[in-house]
Amino acid sequence: MTAPTAASAGAPVLDAPPMTNDLFLRACRGEIVERPPVWMMRQAGRYLPEYRAVRAKSDFLTMCRTPELATEVTLQPIDIVGTDAAIIFSDILVIPEAMGMHLVMEESVGPQFPVPVRSLEAVRQLRTPDPEVELRYVLDALRMTRGALGGRVPLIGFAGAPWTLAAYMIEGKGTKQFSVAKKMLFQQPETAHALLARLADAVGEYLVAQVKAGAQALQLFESWAGSLGPQEFRTFALPYLSRAAAIARTAGVPLIVFAPGASWALELLAESTGADVIGVDWHIEAADARRRLAPHGVSMQGNLDPCLLYAPPDIVRARTLEMLEGFGGQRHIANLGHGILPDTPVESAKAFVDTVKSWRSPATAR
């Protein structure tokens, strides 16, 4: 393990070594590439035996909070699967925790907030987090990982988007319908807006801090976009996602926005968030996403159904090739259309990554 690289405050890491593989950053910026870069959401995860070995000795939150462990598992997929980017091992719920909420991670139930936020008073009691204080452990993990990577591949930082975090904070846990959170939108809209505004600033500042600590690109996860219909999405999700994105963009690195379950909103996200890259989930065919997003001058990231990695390797390869051709080879970052599943065979993950890496993009941009 390499010692942490200190990031100079307010600017990207200045003494960092040059990138040996900057394909991911070039694709984010829409430059012509020889092939799409590839990484996988949740690539540092339970499908890797090496991850499970670390996890066997520490619980999930301890791994998040211990920079050495977070760095170790962040690097695993780079070494084992050979992805073109690293994403820091962390969780979207670190922000609500940094705002003062008690977070409990129970193996079988998933993350829970035993005391949810359900009133304006509860919103007022939330702390405005200072990333270098309450979230220092994430920033330390970024600094350490950036150093350990030594320029091999770029490092991605991330955060949950305001509506997604608010939904968790109001519900207190993950649910299928988010009916408690949605009830607040309809019964106490001013409480919801107050919470969302607090979150937009906290998320934006946290992302900027991640860049100062060494993140070379950022991803905003609006994981529960699909819980809102178009009108509520425009009222309660998009303005705060855009506000967090606007703050994050001041850090000057590429920004990816991913809103799974809201394929209808692809164009809207491209127009409203100023993102360099729009994530595409597996509910939409690659060629459709490309046709819809091409006029907006953004890059795209996605979108193989993670369940396809259960298929035999020849089918994984065939479907990956179809996806690559659908996106057309430029302004595309190959990825899954959702996080990789814990029982995915490592061989299938490699077949996916290797198929992308042996493919060649048509030389002309679309």
Q: Give me the least distance between CB of 58 and a copy of itself, in Å please.
A: 26
Nearer to a copy of itself, 152 or 319 (CB): 319
Residue 88 DSSP symbol: -
**Cβ contacts of 179 within 8 Å, gap of 6 or more:** none
DSSP character string of 318-339: HHHHHHHHHHTSSSEEEEESSP
Active-site annotation holds for 55: yes
Active-site annotation holds for 42: yes
Q: How many Å apart are CA 102 and CA 338, to the nearest integer?
A: 27
Nearer to a copy of itself, 19 or 315 (CB): 315
Active-site annotation holds for 47: no
Q: Which of these is catalytic: 47, 168, 206, 240?
A: 168
Please, which residues bridge with residue 299 across strands?
Answer: 277
45 lines the binding site for a copy of itself (CB under 8 A): no
Window 337 to 356, contacts with a copy of itself (CB under 8 A): 337, 341, 343
CA distances to 104, 151, 217, 333, 366 from 35, in Å:
42, 19, 19, 9, 14
Active-site annotation holds for 249: no
Instruction: Pick the binder of a copy of itself from 9, 57, 231, 364 (CB under 8 A).
Output: 231
Question: Segment contacting a copy of itself (CB under 8 A): 15-23, 30-38, 69-77, 227-235?
Answer: 227-235
CA distances to 115, 161, 238, 292 from 268, in Å:
34, 16, 9, 11
Tokens 């490092």 — which residue?
Answer: 155
307 lines the binding site for a copy of itself (CB under 8 A): yes
Tokens 């051709």 — which residue?
Answer: 325
61 lines the binding site for a copy of itself (CB under 8 A): no
315 lines the binding site for a copy of itself (CB under 8 A): yes
Q: How many Å apart are CA 304 and CA 283, to the nearest integer?
A: 9
Window 246 to 275, contacts with a copy of itself (CB under 8 A): 262-264
The residues carrying an active-site annotation are 42, 46, 55, 91, 168
Q: Which residues bind a copy of itself (CB under 8 A)?
A: 176-177, 179, 182-183, 185-187, 226, 229-232, 262-264, 282-285, 288, 305, 307-308, 310-312, 315, 319, 337, 341, 343
